């Protein structure tokens, strides 16, 4: 049977050796020359590159995989997810009414709430969507609704160029 002093000595030696390993060879998990991305496909979705828009559209396509009782609830879910990447659209009561009667709606998108203020070259105030200066055109959320025979509504949403 070991004594407490022997056990303590073994623990201290193991801890000292482990600390050396942490600094020396085993200090980092993952690639040494990059960030810790798992597969190298992590991208900034708020950059609005073609790949980022394709990923956002993939999510929106998955959102439309199930039918909804109320199409506005599907748009509220999409709006919450789009706000996580800095995109937003204005949806008011009139928009909800139009969605219940129309089959297609085009909702303009803004990035980070839009831009309001002076651009530094003029004394007036400017207002834009925060997307047009970056891409050269705006973006919109195209929403198509299809009423199913069982009374539910299928919602298809997709980000498309606007203007």
pLDDT of residue 114: 75
Q: pTM for the complete prediction?
A: 0.67
Q: Strand, coil or helix: what is 146?
A: strand
pLDDT of residue 48: 82
In whole angstroms, give the CA distance from residue 90 to residue 39: 35
Contact 163, 137 (CB under 8 A): yes
pLDDT of residue 158: 93
β-sheet bridge partners, residue 140 = 108, 160
Alpha-carbon Rg for the chain in angstroms: 26
Contact 144, 99 (CB under 8 A): no
In whole angstroms, give the CA distance from residue 1 to residue 10: 14
Consecutive 10-residue runs of the chain (163 residues): their mean pLDDT? 77 62 47 49 75 88 86 88 89 80 85 76 74 86 90 90 82
**Residue in the block written with tokens 């909800």:** 96
């Amino acid at each position: 049977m070991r004594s407490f002093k022997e056990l303590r000595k073994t623990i201290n030696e193991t801890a000292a050796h482990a600390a050396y390993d942490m600094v020396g060879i085993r200090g980092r998990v993952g690639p040494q020359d990059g960030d810790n991305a798992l597969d190298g496909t992590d991208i900034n979705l708020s950059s609005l590159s073609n790949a980022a828009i394709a990923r956002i559209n993939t999510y929106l396509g998955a959102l439309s995989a199930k039918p909804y009782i109320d199409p506005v609830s599907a748009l509220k879910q999409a709006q919450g997810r789009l706000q996580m990447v800095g995109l937003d659209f204005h949806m008011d009561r009139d928009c909800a009414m139009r969605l219940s009667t129309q089959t297609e709606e085009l909702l303009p998108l803004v990035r980070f709430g839009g831009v309001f203020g002076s651009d530094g070259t003029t004394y007036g105030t400017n207002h834009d969507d925060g997307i047009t200066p970056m891409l050269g055109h705006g973006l919109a959320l195209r929403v198509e609704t299809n009423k199913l025979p069982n009374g539910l509504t299928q919602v298809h949403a997709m980000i498309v160029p606007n203007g």
